[in-house]
Amino acid sequence: MAPSSAATAAYELPWVEKYRPTLLDDVVGNVETIERLKVIAKDGNCPHIIISGLPGIGKTTSIHCLAHQLLGDAYKEGVLELNASDERGIDVVRNKIKSFAQKKVTLPPGRHKIVILDEADSMTGGAQQALRRTMEIYSNTTRFCLACNMSNKIIEPIQSRCAILRYAKLRDTEVLARLLEICKEENVQYNDDGLTALIFTCEGDMRQAINNLQSTHSGFGFVSGENVFKVCDQPHPVIVQAIIRACHKCEVDSALEKLHELWDQGYSAVDIVVTLFRVAKTFDELPEYTKLEYIKEIGFTHMRVLEGVGTLMQLAGLVARLCKLHMKPELFKL
């Protein structure tokens, strides 16, 4: 094999890009919101749009899909994309967007040029102010699509000019379905435990789920729970479950033993507290009331850890308090 072709064969596109949907139909989750986008893509009268939501749930993707479906072959000419890595100060907004908005482009009938401002919440207030007038002046030829993590970081006047679409976190089943498709396409060897682990660690972030899938696959060749947690470098929830179970049974010693085990593996207090929280939140063996009490205690500890006291003692204290919740108060009377 010639060296150049060997290099091409070894080169593998990140799966997040390889499996980036190109049609709105392929974007999973947020069904109702995406239905609305599909209607816009079909009818063509695109309002200014803000899509907000957590990272990795398809905001950028759906804006690009929308632009593709609206403009077809004219996409190259008719779209200006500025994302957080581009210079987006006041001058750029004034000049670049203005000259784009004034440019003559042949578009399908009834369509508008589109300016995509990805990660718009990282634009300065001044730049956003410069944008609001521009949006208005050119709105007969140009429409704006903004994506951001938090829509409240966008100034009010822009919000009121836009249709705001909020994307929710993706459901586990939605992430799972996508992962299964990719596994099939890429011939990934996996077991159920591995997929559960991927879904547990990604917390509804599809980008992370796909990245972890690829890392586990290329690192270990097999997607098992064990391997996924090695890749993601998070405490194994099975051990964390054991801690909580022990607390629930008031077995302080065995809970502490498990805690030490995690600590000796090198996990930081934050890693452990965060996993404790997530496990407790979804742990079916706990009655609802206990769950809430546990979450409260874990939350307080999380706060202390973030304030800088991330010691083993801090975590041991948490474990002891969790145990105490079910012990008879008389036992603590002197």
Ligand X SMILES: Nc1ncnc2c1ncn2[C@@H]1O[C@H](COP(=O)(O)OP(=O)(O)O)[C@@H](O)[C@H]1O
Task: Give the chain's radius of gyration (CA, Å).
Answer: 25
What whole-number distance in Å separates Cα of residue 62 and Cα of residue 28?
10
Judge contact between 114 and 79, C-beta under 8 A.
yes
- The verdict on 60 binding Mg ion (CB under 5 A) reads yes
Stretch of 53-61, 148-156, 160-168, 201-209 contacting Mg ion, by CB under 5 A: 53-61
Nearer to ligand X, 207 or 236 (CB): 207
- Residue among 123, 116, 128 at smallest CA distance from 156: 128
Least distance in Å: CB of 37 to ligand X?
A: 12
- The verdict on 183 binding ligand X (CB under 6 A) reads no
- Residue among 323, 326, 332, 331 at smallest CA distance from 243: 323
Q: 273-312 mask for ligand X (x: CB under 6 A)?
A: ----------------------------------------
Q: Collapsing DSSP states into helix, strand and coil, what is residue 146?
A: strand
Among 48, 88, 111, 207, binds ligand X (CB under 6 A): 207
Nearer to ligand X, 58 or 194 (CB): 58
Judge contact between 154 and 148, C-beta under 8 A.
yes
Q: 89-128 mask for ligand X (x: CB under 6 A)?
A: ----------------------------------------
Judge contact between 253 and 295, C-beta under 8 A.
no
- The verdict on 262 binding ligand X (CB under 6 A) reads no
- Residue 264 binds which entry of ligand X, Mg ion, none, CB below 5-8 Å type-dependent: none
- Residue among 83, 65, 84, 61 at smallest CA distance from 75: 65
Query: 275 is written with which tokens?
Result: 């996993």
What is the arrangement of strands in the sheet containing 142-148, beginning at the earlier edge strand? 79-82, 113-117, 142-148, 49-52, 163-166
Among 178, 236, 258, 302, binds ligand X (CB under 6 A): 178
- The verdict on 38 binding ligand X (CB under 6 A) reads no
Count residues binding ligand X (CB under 6 A): 20
Nearer to Mg ion, 122 or 159 (CB): 122
Query: 69 is written with which tokens?
Result: 């479906």
Binding region for ligand X (CB under 6 A): 16-17, 19-21, 27-29, 55-61, 147, 178, 206-207, 210
- Chain residues in the site for Mg ion (CB under 5 A): 60
